[in-house]
C-alpha cells in the first residue's frame, strides 16, 4: 500500500511515453511514407530527363548510336518514377502537377520521336527542332518536377516542426511528472522509513549484543505485519541459540576432557601445536622431557629443537606428514637427567577449511639407537681386525706371483690371480665399511676450501679418459663459464664423482656416452653425471642410496656401499644428491654443493689432482 502511489505515477508516465512515442512515430512515418517518396521520385525524374536531353545533344554532335542507347535506357527510369509520383498524391495541388508532368512528358516523347525520325546527317534540321520544341518542353518538365519537389519538401518541414513541438511539449510534461514522482517517492520513503527503521534498529542492537556473547536478548513485537513476524522469528532463534549454547558448552567440555585423556594415555611424548606453532596440548610424557617450555595446555610459544624446526614448518605449510623411518633421524633429549633418543613423527591435523595444526609424536628409540651403535662399532672393529690379515694375504699373493719363492705352474698362476682379485675386492669392501662407519660416527673432519667447479669436472674427466677410450664410450665434461667456487673437501668430493663416473662407465655399453656438467642453481652449483646406459627401474630408485643395496642385474662387484658413502659425504657438505633414471635410456645423478663465501678465491690443484 505504501508504494501503490509511486506505482501509479510510474504507470501514468509509461502510458504518456507510449502515446508520445506513437505520435512521433506517426509523424515520422508520414514524412517517410508520403513526402519522401515524392521527393525521391521528382529528383530521379529530373536526373532521367537530363540524361535524355544529353542523349539528344549526342545525336546533334554526330554520335547517333550512343545517343539512342542512352535515350532508350533513361526513358523507363523517368516513366517508373512518374508512375510512383502519380500513385503517391498526398498534398493539395499535387495531382495537377503530376498530370501536367504526364502531359508534358507525352509531348516530349512525340517531339523526340520526330527528332530521331530525321536523317542522322541532317544536323541543321535536328538542331532547329531541338531548340524550337525539345528544349522548351525539357525546361517545362523540369520546372514541374521542381514544383513537386518543393511542395513535398515544404510539407516535410511543416511535419518536422509539428513533431518538434510535440516532442517539446512531451518533454515538459515528462519533467513535471518526474518532479511529481520524485516528491511522491520522497514522501513515501519518509513514511516507510519511520515505520521500518524503528523495529530494524531494535533487531540490529539485539543481534550485535548476541555477537558479543549476550544471548539474553528479546526484541519487542510492535505489530502483526512482516516486521512483527520477523521479530517473533528472531526471538525464537535467540531462544534456540541459548539452548544450543548450553548443550554445546557441556559437549565441548566433555570432548576436551576426552581428547586430553586420550593424549595423556599415550606412553610416548605427544605435543599438539596450532597453525602458528604454539603449543595447544601436551601429555605428561612430553611435559616431563620438554620441561619448562610446556607449562600446561593452552596456546603458548614453543621453540622446537633445530632438528624439528624445519620439518614442523613444512608440515604446517601443507607439505605433508613428516614420517622418518631410520634411527639416524632420531633426536637426543633428556628425560630425568638421562639422554634418550626419540624418533619424531609430525602429523598434520586437517580441517574442512584447511590445516588446524600438527601433532608431534616422539617414539623412544633409545634401545634401537644403542643396537645401531653397537652394530656400527662391531662392523668397525671387525673391519679393522680384517684389514691386517688381508694385507698380509695380499702381500703373500704378490710375492708368489712374482715367483720370489720359486717358479709357478700356469694353473697355480691362474688360481693366485683369482685369489688376488678376490682379496682386492674384499680389501675395498673393508675400506668402504671403515669409511662409512667413521662418517656415521662423525669422526671424519672435512678440510673445506674453495674449489673451482671447472677443475673438479676436468679432473674427473682426465682420470677416467683412458678407461672410457678402452671401453669405446664418449666421456665429456663441461662447466658453465664464470661459475663461483664451491666450499668442499676436494679429496672426498672427488671420491664421490669418481664413484658416480665409475658406475656410469660400468653400466654403459660400447658406443654410449657419459656426460659430466656443472651449472649455477641458486646458492649452489649443480653437478650432473648423465649416462646413456641400461638405466634403473623406478621401484629401485628410492633404495638406491641405502647401505648394502644393489639393484637386480648389478654388474659391480662391490658391497653396495659406494652410493651410501657418496650420500654421507655430500650431506656432510650440506649438499644434496639425488638420482633419476628411465630403463633403457640412461641414468642421471645430481649433486648440489654450496657456494664458497663471497670473496673466497679457489685454490688451484697440484699436478695430478687430489685423491680420497
Concatenating the DSSP letter of every residue in 246-307 gives: HHHHHHHHHHHHHHHHHHHT-SS-EEEE-TTS-EEEE-HHHHHHHGGG--SSSSB-----HH
- 383 or 550, higher pLDDT: 550
Do the Cβ atoms of 142 and 46 come closer than 8 Å? yes
Which of 8-22, 162-176, 287-301 is predicted least confidently? 287-301
pLDDT class for 152, splitting at 50, 70, 90? confident
Question: Is a pLDDT exceeding 60 seen at residue 383?
Answer: no
* Predicted local confidence at residue 140, as pLDDT: 92
pLDDT of residue 218: 79
Q: Which residues pair with 589 in a beta bridge?
A: 529, 579
What is the structure's pLDDT at 382?
A: 52
- pLDDT tens digits, residue range 52-97? 999 888 888 888 889 889 999 998 999 899 888 888 888 888 888 8
Q: What is the pLDDT of residues 454-510, one digit of tens each?
A: 999 999 999 999 999 988 999 999 999 989 999 988 888 888 898 899 888 988 888
H and E: helices and strands count for the chain:
14, 12
For 102-140, the pLDDT digits (tens) are 899 899 889 899 988 888 878 888 899 889 988 999 999
In the chain, pLDDT over 70 holds for what percent of residues?
77
Cα–Cα distance list, 522 to 16, 210, 484, 536, 593 (Å): 76, 55, 11, 29, 11
Q: Please give the pLDDT value at position 26.
A: 59
State the pLDDT confidence band at 277, using cuts at 50, 70 and 90. Answer: confident
pLDDT at position 1, please? 63
State mean pLDDT over 356-362: 81
- What gap in Å lies between CA 150 and CA 460, rounded to an integer? 105
State yes or no: pLDDT of 515 exceeds 90.
yes
Q: What is the pLDDT of residues 18-42, one digit of tens each?
A: 776 666 655 565 555 667 888 888 8
Q: Which residue has the cell 614442523?
A: 312
Taking only Cα atoms into account, the Rg of the chain, rounded to an integer number of angstroms, comes to 54
Helices within 441-489 (DSSP H only):
453-471
Stretch among 300-304, 305-309, 372-376, 449-453 having the lowest mean pLDDT: 372-376
Give the per-residue pLDDT at 385: 56
- Output the average pLDDT for the chain: 78
Q: How far is CA 271 from CA 19, 291, 388, 499, in A?
A: 81, 12, 51, 43
- The residues, ordered by sequence, that sit 6+ positions from 377 with a Cβ below 8 Å of its Cβ are none
Rounded to whole angstroms, the Cα distance separating 141 from 159 reads 27
Provide the pLDDT for residue 185: 75
Question: Quick check: 145 pLDDT over 90?
Answer: no
Q: With 80 as the cut, is the pLDDT of residue 215 above it?
A: no
pLDDT > 90 fraction of the chain, expressed in percent and rounded: 13
Amino acid at each position: 500500500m505504501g508504494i501503490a502511489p509511486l506505482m501509479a505515477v510510474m504507470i501514468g508516465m509509461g502510458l504518456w511515453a507510449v502515446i508520445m512515442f506513437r505520435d512521433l512515430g506517426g509523424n515520422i512515418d508520414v514524412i517517410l511514407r508520403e513526402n519522401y517518396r515524392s521527393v525521391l521520385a521528382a529528383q530521379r525524374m529530373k536526373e532521367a530527363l537530363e540524361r535524355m536531353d544529353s542523349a539528344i545533344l549526342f545525336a546533334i554532335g554526330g554520335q547517333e548510336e550512343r545517343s539512342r542507347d542512352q535515350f532508350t535506357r533513361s526513358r523507363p527510369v523517368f516513366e517508373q518514377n512518374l508512375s510512383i509520383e502519380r500513385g503517391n498524391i498526398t498534398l493539395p495541388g499535387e495531382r495537377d502537377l503530376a498530370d501536367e508532368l504526364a502531359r508534358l512528358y507525352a509531348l516530349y516523347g512525340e517531339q523526340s520521336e520526330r527528332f530521331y525520325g530525321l536523317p542522322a546527317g541532317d544536323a541543321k534540321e535536328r538542331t532547329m527542332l531541338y531548340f524550337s520544341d525539345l528544349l522548351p518542353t525539357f525546361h517545362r518538365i523540369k520546372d514541374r518536377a521542381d514544383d513537386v519537389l518543393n511542395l513535398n519538401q515544404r510539407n516535410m518541414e511543416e511535419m518536422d516542426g509539428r513533431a518538434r513541438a510535440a516532442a517539446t511539449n512531451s518533454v515538459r510534461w515528462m519533467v513535471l511528472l518526474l518532479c511529481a514522482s520524485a516528491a511522491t517517492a520522497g514522501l513515501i520513503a519518509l513514511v516507510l522509513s519511520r515505520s521500518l527503521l524503528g523495529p530494524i534498529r531494535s533487531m540490529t542492537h539485539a543481534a550485535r549484543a548476541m555477537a558479543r556473547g549476550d544471548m539474553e536478548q528479546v526484541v519487542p513485537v510492535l505489530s502483526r505485519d512482516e516486521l512483527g513476524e520477523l521479530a517473533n522469528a528472531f526471538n525464537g532463534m535467540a531462544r534456540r541459540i541459548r539452548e544450543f549454547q548450553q548443550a554445546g558448552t557441556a559437549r565441548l567440555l566433555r570432548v576436551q576432557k576426552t581428547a586430553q585423556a586420550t593424549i595423556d594415555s599415550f606412553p610416548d611424548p605427544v605435543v599438539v601445536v596450532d597453525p602458528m606453532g604454539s603449543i595447544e596440548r601436551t601429555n605428561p610424557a612430553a611435559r616431563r622431557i620438554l620441561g619448562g617450555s610446556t607449562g600446561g595446555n593452552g596456546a603458548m610459544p614453543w621453540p622446537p629443537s633445530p632438528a624439528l624446526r624445519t620439518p614442523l614448518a613444512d608440515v604446517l605449510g601443507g607439505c605433508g606428514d613428516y614420517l622418518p623411518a631410520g634411527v639416524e633421524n632420531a633426536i637426543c633429549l633428556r628425560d630425568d637427567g638421562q639422554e634418550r633418543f626419540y624418533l619424531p613423527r609430525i602429523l598434520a591435523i586437517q580441517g574442512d577449511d584447511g590445516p588446524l595444526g600438527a601433532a608431534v609424536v616422539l617414539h623412544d628409540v633409545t634401545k634401537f639407537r644403542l643396537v645401531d651403535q653397537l652394530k656400527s662399532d662391531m662392523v668397525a672393529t671387525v673391519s679393522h681386525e680384517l684389514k691386517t690379515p688381508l694385507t698380509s694375504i695380499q702381500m703373500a699373493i704378490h710375492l708368489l706371483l712374482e715367483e720370489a719363492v720359486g717358479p709357478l705352474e700356469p694353473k697355480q698362476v691362474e688360481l693366485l690371480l683369482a685369489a688376488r682379485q678376490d682379496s682386492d675386492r674384499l680389501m675395498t669392501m673393508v675400506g668402504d665399511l671403515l669409511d662409512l662407519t667413521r662418517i656415521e660416527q662423525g669422526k671424519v673432519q672435512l678440510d673445506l676450501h674453495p674449489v673451482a667447479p671447472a677443475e673438479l669436472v676436468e679432473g674427473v674427466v682426465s682420470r677416467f679418459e683412458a678407461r672410457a677410450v678402452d671401453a669405446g664410450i664418449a666421456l665429456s665434461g663441461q662447466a658453465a663459464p664464470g661459475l663461483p667456487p664451491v666450499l668442499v673437501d676436494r679429496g672426498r668430493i672427488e671420491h664421490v664423482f669418481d664413484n658416480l663416473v665409475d658406475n656410469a662407465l660400468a653400466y654403459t655399453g660400447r658406443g654410449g656416452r657419459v656426460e659430466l656438467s656443472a651449472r649455477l642453481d641458486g646458492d649452489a652449483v649443480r653437478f650432473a653425471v648423465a649416462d646413456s646406459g641400461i638405466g634403473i627401474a623406478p621401484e629401485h630408485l628410492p633404495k638406491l642410496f641405502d647401505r648394502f643395496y644393489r639393484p637386480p642385474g648389478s654388474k659391480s662387484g662391490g658391497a653396495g656401499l659406494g652410493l651410501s658413502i657418496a650420500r654421507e659425504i655430500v650431506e656432510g657438505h650440506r649438499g644434496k644428491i639425488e638420482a633419476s633414471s628411465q630403463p633403457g635410456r640412461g641414468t642421471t645423478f645430481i649433486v648440489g654443493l654450496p657456494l664458497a663465501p663471497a670473496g673466497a678465491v679457489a685454490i688451484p690443484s697440484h699436478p695430478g689432482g687430489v685423491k680420497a
